[in-house]
Amino acid sequence: MTTLVIGGAGYIGSHVVRLLVERGEHVVVVDDLSTGFAERARGADLVELDVTLPDAQDKLAFHLHASGADSVIHFAAHKQVGESVAKPELYWHDNIAGLANVLAACASAGVRDVVFSSSAAVYGVPDVDLVTEELIPAPINPYGETKLVGEWMLADAERAHDLRTVALRYFNVAGTGWPDLADTQVMNLVPIVLDALDKGKKPIVFGEDYDTPDGTCIRDYVHVVDLAEAHISALDYLRGEERPYRVFNVGTGTGSSVLDVIAALSRALGEEIVPEIGPRRPGDPAKLVCSTDRIRETLGWSSSKSLDDIVESAVAARRGTPEATSA
């Protein structure tokens, strides 16, 4: 089988590429290398291409034909919530036009199977204990809006061109399966805390007055290797006969507070981290934890790694020590 992984030189995409290569699949990585690294595409063919450009559709169709690809996994997108609020036009164009080019190329090349990287951001700030896929999406920022529109585009393409599509709504991804695939962008809690400590600064907790047991926000942290495995399961699902759903949450079903994460990092580092308590960050829901029933019952996927596994792998990668867990 041959899979085209768009954004496969990025943090999450490269973990999926590594798993696909390890299981003997032929992989073509398409990436503009704006935030990814060519070295991460080890074992795969690499095509440097910005899928948001006007001529990308034809170029993608050519590579789909030339490689004999039978499936596509699309990761390439901007994903910073704050940036999306400041520059919505960047997100409307790149996230949506890029996906439009990918879907048009699949239709013209006769490639049916598409796995799409969506996000829990489509839910906005749900006031429920566990988020299920039946919840009506209500994104509160342009980033989340582009992910929801992307899901609609998949459904339109499926109807128009007989594609087989699935969208995976990621909750909070962290950790690494290999040190060379660690998240190099400092945009989420775990890398932000580690970066602050490396700079001799105190990490800042955004608010301690939420309606949660310790007052800090709760999220569903999922190991990037578990998430990558979910993409492999999604590909196998698309190649199967029964496909009752097109959207799946990907998380652990377990919540961890900001202070829980900091305590886990303290354990992994062997030193106590004393954070500063700062003001709330606008737009943060108090709790965002997913139900994993649908993905478990339909794809047979469940997370296997704990919060300690996540932070230990991130710490080991940061320290450049070989113990960073491999998949």
Q: Site residues (CB under 6 A) for ligand WQD?
A: 79, 81, 119-121, 170, 172, 188-189, 192, 203-206, 217, 219, 258, 281, 284
Which of 120/235 has CB closer to ligand WQD? 120
Are residues 3 and 25 in contact, defined by beta-carbon separation less than 8 angstroms? Answer: yes
Which of 81/153 has CB closer to ligand WQD? 81
Which of 160/201 has CB closer to ligand WQD? 201
Residue nearest to ligand WQD (CB): 217
Q: Closest separation between CB of residue 188 and ligand WQD, Å?
A: 3
Which of 157/224 has CB closer to ligand WQD? 224
Q: Give which of 143, 139, 146, 141 is closest to 123, Cα–Cα.
A: 139
Q: Give which of 221, 192, 202 is closest to 287, Cα–Cα.
A: 221
Q: 307 CB contacts (<8 Å, ≥6 apart)? A: 221, 256, 260, 261, 264
Q: What CA–CA distance (Å, rounded) separates 71 from 112? A: 7
Which secondary structure element, helix H or strand E, spans residue 241, and what is its range?
Answer: none
Q: 87 CB contacts (<8 Å, ≥6 apart)? A: none
Beta strands in 34-93 (DSSP E): 45-48, 71-74
Are residues 155 and 246 in contact, defined by beta-carbon separation less than 8 angstroms? Answer: yes
Q: Closest separation between CB of residue 230 and ligand WQD, Å?
A: 14
* Residue corresponding to tokens 């590429």: 17
Q: What CA–CA distance (Å, rounded) separates 313 from 179? A: 8
Q: What CA–CA distance (Å, rounded) separates 98 from 83? A: 18
Q: What CA–CA distance (Å, rounded) separates 121 from 142? A: 10
Q: What CA–CA distance (Å, rounded) separates 73 from 233? A: 12
Which of 63/79 has CB closer to ligand WQD? 79
Q: Closest separation between CB of residue 1 and ligand WQD, Å?
A: 27
Q: Closest separation between CB of residue 278 and ligand WQD, Å?
A: 8
Q: Closest separation between CB of residue 119 and ligand WQD, Å?
A: 3
| Residue 237 falls in the annotated catalytic set | no
Which of 208/309 has CB closer to ligand WQD? 208
Q: Closest separation between CB of residue 307 and ligand WQD, Å?
A: 13
Task: Spot the catalytic one: 11, 91, 123, 143.
Answer: 143
The 10 Å Cβ neighbour count of residue 132 is 14
Catalytic residues: 143
